[in-house]
Chains A and B, each alone.
Chain A
Amino acid sequence: MMDLAASLLSPEFFAAILRVSTPIILVAMGVLISERAGVVNIGAEGMMLSGAFCGVVFSAYTGSATVGLVAAIVAGMVGGLFMSFAVHVLRANLFLSGIALNLAASAGTILALFALTGEKGISGTLDSEVLPSVHIPWIQDLPVLGTILSGHHILTYVAFLSVPAVAIFMMRTPTGLRMRAVGENPEAAKATGLSVIRLQLQAFLLCGVFAGAGGAFLSMGYVSWFSQNMTAGRGFIALAAEVMGAGGAYGTLAASLLLGSVDVLAIALAGEGLPSELLQAAPYVVTVLALALYGLRQAKQKTIGTVH
């Protein structure tokens, strides 16, 4: 047990939280933008998976990690285009379109992998690039903080920096304001002359940027290959984080970090003889608890509102 306490307080433990939370934060920021624009994107998981795939493939064929990252982001945006086309042009159901995108990405990436490499499970034969880790000068030399804060994958820093960026974008810029207006009341927004479709398309595309980057994080640094369905539900965890964060960027960051912490705690406890099924369920239990608390608070606020 002493070992456990030591490992829970070790800098590696906190570094792991930042690492595990990164893909959730990135995708949750994308989901946040789409949700506030009124088109909550169930297809984030599929965008992420396409991003993970294209990052590996394009970096392998060009030898450039940067090209891979750009390809991953573009792949996410193509997913966004698909969503917008399905929802706005074909008038398909938003949720079903998202599910369709997820299924198409799951099967499509395997098909493309097979066409390119003759394999269906893993891109192990492709010599793909990984994005660099960043060692922050000064901070990396600090005893404890150095291990926690320095030496992470570049997209981990991007993820954390994107939080204030998204907060400012949504709350302080005209486009963010318009997106929120469209999300709150599309009819009213339309009446003021806003193009609902254009704003929602932009939201889908931005969501694709974040989801694609989240996928690239998994396949171009966390591990150095693509394997089938490697996102393993992280897109859905990000949806949960956004709901837990009540649509605010900082709240979503907090929720993502909470989910990441629970996951890392479960990983640290994995060797301690607790039932593995219980530990694997932990992030989902926390999500349900947090949503229940959030619902209670909402209900209470409503009651207060009616009294006055």
Chain B
Amino acid sequence: MRFNRRVFSTMVLAGLSGGLLAATLPSSAQAADAKRAIFLANGTLGDKSFFDSAARGMQDAKAKYGDDLEIRIVEMGVDKSKWRSFLQDASEEDYDLVFTITFEIGELLAEIAQEYPDQNYVLIDGFLPEGAGDLQNIYSVVYKANEASYLAGVMAAGMLAEGTNVKGTHLGMLGAFDIPVINDFFLGYVTGAQSVKPDVKVAVSFAGSFEDAARGKELSLAQYRTGTAIGFNVAGLTGLGQLDAAKETGQWAIGVNSDQELIFRESDPALADRVVTSVMKNIDVTVARTIDLLFEDAVPLGQFEALGLKEGGVGIVKDGVMASVVSDDVKAKIDAAETAIINGDIVVESAFGKDTAEIEAIRTAVRP
């Protein structure tokens, strides 16, 4: 027994040191002038959304540049009090770029960037606080979610106008909160729908939570039962309740941020079949593109950029359910709208910079 245990611990030790060796090998094999990038996830991977997408972008870049690029991905966890020390540690390790994402980290990043003026940072889908605009070591990127939502609106109103496989008289949207980030999706969705069907009506409900799927389902059931044919959810986990309501009532739903059809494709195909498309923020594309810019020495530090359809920052899922459910005519309308937005012929309105009263007026105008 004792012998066995000793053998076992020797094996464990051998395994551990072997693992350590393997872990250190690649970095020692890096080219001497390799670029180094780190992604600090202010949460955990496995969210099927933002953090996974950013990590995928890092891996894509690594696959492209091989030994010329050294990447590291760190999960900082959900405890905000620990983020500062993670950021400080990363800032002292001489990375060429430090990637951070989401609106939760903007303020902290601005402070850290002041502490380490020689370190360069990227902030994706977040905002720096007022007055931090003169920081010359942050490249800040946000998404024009309104542009992709416009395409979703074109699709939904197109399906509604044709009326061949929809039951209902108007469109719907389920939001988490009445806040600019969510209203930006709403505004794009409504204007896109109006471009196809000027008198289109859109019912809007807010759940007051990002995590209450049951409430999301109940709100969506109420919408679907009162004439909503196609719903659009912008409410995180709450929004998934809409997909279940769509399955139960035989109506259509539109997902957000990640391809929501894929979440259920294996486990619940009947539900996945109700998700026509999803409006995506392509964080992976942004991360990979920024690393491309790093190799060209062209990262626009000190600047703020809003990425839309043109830059590949946002988009909608066109394969999957949409391919078989949406008519060629509507697909052509979507492609035309996409081209027009990319060329600048259509400028989609944004909720950022609009006050509550303006948004409320638009909501009232389209209320069924």
Seen from chain A, the residues whose Cβ lies within 8 Å of a Cβ on chain B are 3, 7, 12, 16, 19-20, 23, 114, 118-122, 124-128, 218, 222-225, 227-230, 232, 264, 267-268, 270-273, 275-277, 280
B212 touches A223 (CB 8 A): no
Which of B9-17, B42-50, B301-309 participates in binding chain A? B42-50
Q: What are 14 sample pairs from A and B whose C-beta atoms fall under 8 A apart?
A: A114-B44, A119-B46, A120-B45, A124-B267, A225-B240, A225-B267, A230-B214, A232-B211, A264-B218, A267-B215, A270-B222, A271-B368, A273-B363, A277-B208
Task: With A223-B240, A264-B218 as known contacts, state yes or no: A229 contacts B211, CB within 8 Å.
Answer: yes
Which of B24-32, B91-99, B189-197, B199-207 participates in binding chain A? B199-207
A127 touches B221 (CB 8 A): no
Please tell me if B282 contacts chain A, counting CB pairs below 8 Å. no
Q: Which residues of B contact A224 (CB under 8 A)?
A: 244, 268, 271
Once bound together, how far apart are the Cα atoms of A271 and B12, in whole Å? 61
Task: With A128-B267, A268-B222, A271-B368 as known contacts, state yes or no: A121 contacts B47, CB within 8 Å.
Answer: yes
Q: Distance in Å from the Cβ of A112 to the closest Cβ of chain B?
A: 13
Q: Which residues of B contact A223 (CB under 8 A)?
A: 213-214, 217, 240-241, 244
A124 touches B214 (CB 8 A): no
Once bound together, how far apart are the Cα atoms of A114 and B203, in whole Å? 36
Please tell me if B339 contacts chain A, counting CB pairs below 8 Å. no
Once bound together, how far apart are the Cα atoms of A273 and B226, in whole Å? 15
A267 touches B213 (CB 8 A): no
Known: A128-B267, A267-B205, A273-B360. 16 other contacts (CB 8 A): A119-B46, A119-B47, A121-B46, A121-B47, A122-B48, A125-B267, A127-B268, A218-B214, A222-B214, A225-B213, A225-B240, A227-B213, A271-B368, A276-B177, A276-B205, A277-B208
A12 touches B225 (CB 8 A): yes
Please tell me if B364 contacts chain A, counting CB pairs below 8 Å. yes
A277 touches B178 (CB 8 A): yes
Once bound together, how far apart are the Cα atoms of A10 and B154, in whole Å? 33
A271 touches B204 (CB 8 A): yes
Q: Name B220's closest neighbour in chain A (CB-CB).
A: A267
Please tell me if B283 contacts chain A, counting CB pairs below 8 Å. no
Which residues in chain B, 205-257, are within 8 Å of chain A measured between CB atoms? 205-209, 211-215, 217-219, 221-223, 225-226, 237, 240-241, 244
Task: With A271-B203, A280-B206 as known contacts, state yes or no: A118 contacts B211, CB within 8 Å.
Answer: no
Once bound together, how far apart are the Cα atoms of A225 and B211, in whole Å? 13
Interface centre among A19, A20, A270 (most CB of B within 10 A): A270
Please tell me if B367 contacts chain A, counting CB pairs below 8 Å. yes
Q: Distance in Å from the Cβ of A101 to the closest Cβ of chain B?
A: 19
Q: Name A124's closest neighbour in chain B (CB-CB).
A: B263
Partner of B205, one of A7, A23, A228, A271: A271
A16 touches B222 (CB 8 A): yes
Seen from chain B, the residues whose Cβ lies within 8 Å of a Cβ on chain A are 44-49, 177-178, 203-209, 211-215, 217-219, 221-223, 225-226, 237, 240-241, 244, 263-264, 266-268, 271, 360, 363-364, 367-368
Q: Name B209's closest neighbour in chain A (CB-CB).
A: A232
Q: Distance in Å from the Cβ of A3 to the closest Cβ of chain B?
A: 7
Q: Which residues of B contact A7 (CB under 8 A)?
A: 222, 225-226
Once bound together, how far apart are the Cα atoms of A35 and B219, in whole Å? 33
A118 touches B178 (CB 8 A): no
Partner of A122, one of B178, B225, B263: B263
A276 touches B240 (CB 8 A): no
Once bound together, how far apart are the Cα atoms of A227 and B214, in whole Å? 10
Once bound together, how far apart are the Cα atoms of A232 and B364, in whole Å? 29
Q: Which residues of B contact A229 (CB under 8 A)?
A: 211
Once bound together, how far apart are the Cα atoms of A20 and B215, in whole Å? 9
Q: Which residues of A contact B271 (CB under 8 A)?
A: 224
Q: Name B228's closest neighbour in chain A (CB-CB).
A: A271
Q: Name B174's closest neighbour in chain A (CB-CB).
A: A270
Q: Which residues of A contact B48 (CB under 8 A)?
A: 119, 121-122, 124
Q: Distance in Å from the Cβ of B248 to the closest Cβ of chain A?
A: 10
Q: Name B175's closest neighbour in chain A (CB-CB).
A: A276
Task: With A228-B211, A276-B206 as known contacts, state yes or no: A271 contacts B223, CB within 8 Å.
Answer: yes
A118 touches B46 (CB 8 A): yes
Q: Which residues of A contact B218 (CB under 8 A)?
A: 16, 19-20, 264, 267
Q: Distance in Å from the Cβ of B186 to the closest Cβ of chain A?
A: 12
Partner of B367, one of A114, A218, A271: A271
Task: With A128-B267, A223-B217, A223-B240 as known contacts, state yes or no: A276 contacts B222, CB within 8 Å.
Answer: no
Once bound together, how far apart are the Cα atoms of A268 and B205, in whole Å? 10
